[in-house]
């Protein structure tokens, strides 16, 4: 397995890109550690497949270099890079047995028959397909066929990396969960360098050690579940991760402190100073971000709280989702199911230890445990 490095890499499908918007992948430098399990997460069209194809060699980047263990492979094709790739839909030979399908990549590399047999059985066992080995692949259901595709990706141990492009799309939900767990286990056992493309945050967070979040051709954060949840580097990460995502609300500063619309918001002196500095430097809008999990009901006039109009409270089993409006801005709060909430005026604490602030959508290091309100 390899350590993969992008050096000043960028890709534009159109010639002579003039602005950042012309790039499918904006300029970046990044390292994928040897043996790391990464997920590429982002909405449709954000550049995930382009990035994956640049790793595999299917797309040559228009700028910059790709290094495998320090060796420049930018000009090499997929085969020379020794990459295994698993696509959205099964790529298998219907007329062959499951055994022969799994053995194919190994026989292609002239591995001795006894070793092929051993390795195929190991992978079949991991995927719970041992019983299927003698059967023709054509007789299997779509998800079993996709398991064979996964197996063909996993069977070779000499590859630089294994790339998965939304491999569980055709798998039914119950099986998806099981396969995700299995992939994670396989990764822990074999320490493969895995890059897994998905637009499903649960899939990304279950599978990967580090999730690479992309939007508009740009990597906005690379990190573990905690960092993405608690310290999103970019407002997009706040919005995209979580269900519902982070509350994002514009705030303004004046001589007396901070406001949400016409509502005064009491913040600590250090927080106000950091917000003021960031705004001064970037001359860009400020945004408050708080996850629905950390919003709570407050007393009138409490520091960090604002007056809201509760619009609705939906009981959703182990929590209730309360939606409230503050000067035209909506806030969601996940509250304990037994907390009594009525539609109408209330106070919500939105500046809490967990609150983060963004300037021009980039996180400012303004908040800390007591920082927001004291
Ligand atoms: P999806 O989840 O829908 O597959 P994605 O995140 O994988 O999307 P890409 O397929 O990498 O995104 O596309 C990134 C951008 O590049 C999009 O604007 C897309 O239209 C454009 N693009 C992708 N492939 C080509 C191509 N061969 N020629 C021109 N533009 C392309």
What does the pLDDT look like over 89-115, one tens digit per residue?
888 999 999 999 999 999 998 999 999
How do the residues of the chain divide into helix, strand and coil, expressed in percent and rounded to 5?
30, 30, 40
The answer to which of 49-63, 90-104, 163-177, 271-285 has the lowest mean pLDDT is: 163-177
Distance CA 347, CA 300 (A): 6
What does the DSSP 8-state code read for residue 291? -
- H helices, E strands: number in the chain: 10, 21
Angle between helices 98-108 and 113-126 (to 10 degrees): 130
Question: Among residues 193, 218, 238, which one has the least CA distance to residue 39?
Answer: 193
Q: What are the residue boundaries of the structural domains of the chain, listed by start?
A: 4-235, 244-372
**Residue 369: pLDDT above 50?**
no
Give the count of alpha carbons within 13 A of 177, CB side only.
2
Ligand 1 mutation pick, 14, 43, 49, 217, max ligand atoms within 8 A of CB: 49
Report the pLDDT value the prediction gives residue 329, as an integer from 0 to 100. 97
Report the pLDDT value the prediction gives residue 93, as an integer from 0 to 100. 93
Give the position of tokens 């580097």.
233
**Residue 117: pLDDT above 50?**
yes
Q: What pLDDT band is residue 371 in, cutting at 50, 70 and 90?
A: very low
**Angle 134-136-140 from CA coordinates, rounded to 5°:** 110
Report the pLDDT value the prediction gives residue 213, as an integer from 0 to 100. 97
User: Ligand 1 in contact with 46 (CB < 6 A)?
Assistant: yes
Q: What pLDDT band is residue 168 in, cutting at 50, 70 and 90?
A: confident
Q: What pLDDT band is residue 198 in, cutting at 50, 70 and 90?
A: very high
Provide the sign of the torsion angle of the four alpha carbons 60, 65, 69, 70, taken in this order: positive
Q: What pLDDT band is residue 218 in, cutting at 50, 70 and 90?
A: very high
Distance CA 358, CA 188 (A): 36
**Residue 372: pLDDT above 80?**
no
CATH class for the region spanning 4-235: alpha beta
User: Ligand 1 in contact with 42 (CB < 6 A)?
Assistant: yes
Please tell me the residue having the least CA distance from ligand 1 atom 17: 45
User: Ligand 1 in contact with 14 (CB < 6 A)?
Assistant: no
Neighbouring CB atoms inside 10 A of 66's CB total 22
Ligand 1 mutation pick, 24, 42, 43, 217, max ligand atoms within 8 A of CB: 24
Q: What pLDDT band is residue 290 in, cutting at 50, 70 and 90?
A: very high
Overall average pLDDT of the 241-269 stretch: 95
Supply φ then ψ for residue 295, to 5 degrees.
-80, 140
User: Ligand 1 in contact with 259 (CB < 6 A)?
Assistant: no
User: Ligand 1 in contact with 135 (CB < 6 A)?
Assistant: no
User: Ligand 1 in contact with 50 (CB < 6 A)?
Assistant: yes
**Residue 374: pLDDT above 80?**
no
Q: pTM for the complete prediction?
A: 0.90
Q: Which fold has domain 244-372?
A: OB fold (Dihydrolipoamide Acetyltransferase, E2P) (2.40.50)
User: Ligand 1 in contact with 314 (CB < 6 A)?
Assistant: no
Question: Among residues 286, 255, 257, which one has the least CA distance to residue 359?
Answer: 286
Overall average pLDDT of the 210-225 stretch: 96
């Amino acid at each position: 397995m390899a350590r993969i490095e992008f050096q000043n890499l960028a890709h534009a499908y159109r010639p002579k890109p003039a602005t950042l918007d012309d790039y499918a992948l904006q300029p970046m430098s990044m390292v994928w550690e040897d043996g790391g399990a990464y997920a590429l997460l982002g909405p449709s069209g954000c550049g995930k497949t382009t990035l994956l194809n640049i790793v595999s060699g299917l797309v040559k980047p228009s700028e910059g270099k790709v290094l495998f263990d320090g060796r420049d492979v930018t000009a090499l094709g997929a085969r020379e890079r020794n990459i295994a790739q698993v696509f959205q839909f099964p790529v298998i030979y219907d007329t062959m047995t499951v055994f022969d399908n799994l053995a194919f990549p190994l026989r292609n590399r002239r591995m001795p028959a006894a070793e092929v047999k051993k390795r195929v059985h190991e992978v079949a066992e991991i995927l719970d397909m041992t019983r299927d080995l003698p059967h023709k692949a054509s007789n299997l259901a779509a998800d079993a066929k996709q398991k064979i595709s996964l197996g063909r990706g996993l069977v070779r141990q000499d590859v630089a990396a294994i790339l998965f492009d939304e491999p569980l799309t055709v798998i039914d939900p119950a099986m998806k969960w099981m396969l995700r767990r299995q992939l994670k286990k396989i990764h822990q056992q074999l320490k493969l360098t895995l890059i897994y493309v998905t637009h499903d945050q649960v899939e990304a967070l279950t599978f990967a050690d580090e999730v690479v979040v992309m939007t508009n051709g740009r990597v906005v954060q690379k990190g573990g579940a905690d960092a993405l949840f608690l310290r999103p580097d970019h407002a997009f990460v706040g919005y995209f991760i979580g269900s519902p995502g982070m509350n994002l609300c514009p705030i303004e500063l004046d001589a007396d402190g901070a406001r949400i619309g016409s509502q005064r918001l009491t913040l600590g002196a250090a927080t106000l100073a950091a917000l003021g500095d960031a705004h001064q430097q970037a001359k860009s809008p400020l945004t408050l971000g708080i996850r629905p999990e950390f919003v709570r009901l407050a007393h009138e006039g409490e520091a960090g709280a604002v007056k809201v109009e509760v619009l609705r409270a939906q009981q959703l089993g182990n929590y209730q989702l309360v939606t409230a409006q503050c000067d035209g801005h909506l806030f969601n709060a996940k509250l304990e199911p037994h907390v009594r909430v009525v539609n109408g005026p209330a106070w919500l604490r939105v500046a809490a230890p967990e609150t983060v602030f963004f300037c021009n959508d980039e996180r400012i290091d303004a908040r800390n445990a007591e920082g927001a309100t004291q």
